[in-house]
Structure 1
Amino acid sequence: MSIQPIPEAGPESPPPISGARIPKRAPRSSAGGRPLWLMWPSVLMLFVIVGLPFLIALYISFLNLDQYTLRSWIHAPWVGLENYVESFASGNIVGTSTLVSLGVSFGFAILTTVIITPIGILAALTVNTPYRGRGVVRALYLIPYVIPTFVTALVWRMMFLNKTGLVDRFLAGIHVASINTYWLLGPNSFWAMVIADVWASWAFIYIMVLAGLQSIPADMYDAASVDGANSWQRLTRIVLPQLRSILGLALLLSTLNHFNNFTLPFVMFGTPPPTQVDVLPLNIYVSSFQLFNFGLGGAMSVITLLIMLIPGIFYIRTLRLGEVTV
């Protein structure tokens, strides 16, 4: 007679229910029960619109490609890193190198963002509380932002014209500057571009800040009033800390937008532009489509992309793409 071990008593599993379906493991081709193959059309379009032009520009940046070799651009002479070295050393025939254009672009983007930030915050604060006519004021604030950029550039170009422009006449009338001041040439051209862009873009900060103000609970204002906080204390202790994240995102997007601004300097100053306003996108356009040095333009485009990747990483981290919330 054999003795078999008696199994230890444990929690009994419930009997299977007849007709119940056992959940199956999601296939690898799906995420969260959604088939991933539905994303392939979007991925393909993204590759055709973004990825393929980038690969072509990267390949062109290593070629001696101009109007003479464009017909057989695949077999154009291979020059390696010469275009990158040339872009930093001398640039195009106008004489503006990549370093000079980078300095102009960074100075223009940072200075414009610094100026429009307090303007946008103050404008958002003026329409945050309800009063009669607030809707009209909000609509008026959006006028500079909704006007197309090329229209804004044309208007400011006429206003900055020498002797006949409104700016020269106004400054001469109040005895601040001469009526013969050149705003579209020389050192003053940079400030003319900054003034025009400030007028056109401050409403972006206003929109972002206003959206953040609307999300602050009213209980926080009530508690601050009970504690006896004045307007300045409510602004510095409640409003600005609550706006820290959205304001940081607005500053980042504003800086990127101003850095890549092409239409405003192109319409205001034409090509080739003065050195003081030769931003990097405009320099790439002149090198590629007016001087037909496509290899140099491709190298400058790749440099621009690498520079834009740095704030782009911070932007992605701000949005926390791909973060799994448990």
Structure 2
Amino acid sequence: MLPVARALRHLAALLLAVAVAIVPAAAAHASDTSTASATSSGWNDYTCKPSTAHPRPVVLVHGTFGNSVDNWLSLAPYLTNRGYCVYSFDYGRLPGVPVFYGLGPIEKSAQELSAFVDKVLAATGADEVDIVGHSQGGMMPRYYLKFLGGAAKVNALVGIAPSNHGTTLLGLTELLKYFPGASGLLDIATPAVADQIAGSDFLTELNAGGDTVPGVHYTVIATRYDEVVTPWRSQFLSGSDVHNVLLQDLCPADVSGHLAIALTDRIAHHEVANALDPAHATPTTCASAVS
């Protein structure tokens, strides 16, 4: 029988392997190179001024083990080509871990988001931003909205496969109870992963008293084929200004999973654009894949 310490290492490796599986292969970019690539592709341009048609800059928030470029290689150009000022940033860095971000304590990451939103508002002269986030990036901004004064600076939050109520990782998190001390190990190794386990102290605090705050428009875009944030219905929010969308209700033939829904799925991209500009929304269908 394995010693407890060795068993814990095996369990942590298992959970991390599942999480790493959601990282795009393009994540080999270094942070400074990624920032340059983003600017040359039309986003993270701090000379951009929002137009009358799109008066709010869009802040993109990557997911766990993601970064500010690889998560948005498709959606960021999609939005900039439609006239939006678009910005992304790296958050949740752990010492000695390059390229793979979104790993630190989520409360601290929300503080980093707060500082970045202030930076974008100062550069653009806008009064508010819209936030679009994937996975952890669709959930973490809710802490900023609820506890850090973000509701006064954010018009809309669009979550793509967000971990709003945590995840069971297809039931793998149930193994934690068989390994005393395993949760503590995850807290040390990858705090953000621990924070996103269904029933965590962080999520209990975040969701106490309701999922939403007044004055912010919420959209959640989920796929029934999500293999990371499970069960997929846990992604949906409850509240008076919430629009929950299941991708397969828009296009039954869409089989995108947790990664593809944010990285390559233009049907989901179209629904993001609708959420950012509901006054000019057009129906999202399977044909949106080529629009």
What TM bracket, shorter-length normalisation? under 0.3
**Structure (1/2) with the larger strand percentage:** 2
| TM-score, length of structure 2 as denominator length | 0.25
Structure number with higher relative contact order (C-alpha < 8 Å, ≥ 6 residues apart):
1
Larger of the two Rg values belongs to structure: 1
| TM-score, length of structure 1 as denominator length | 0.23
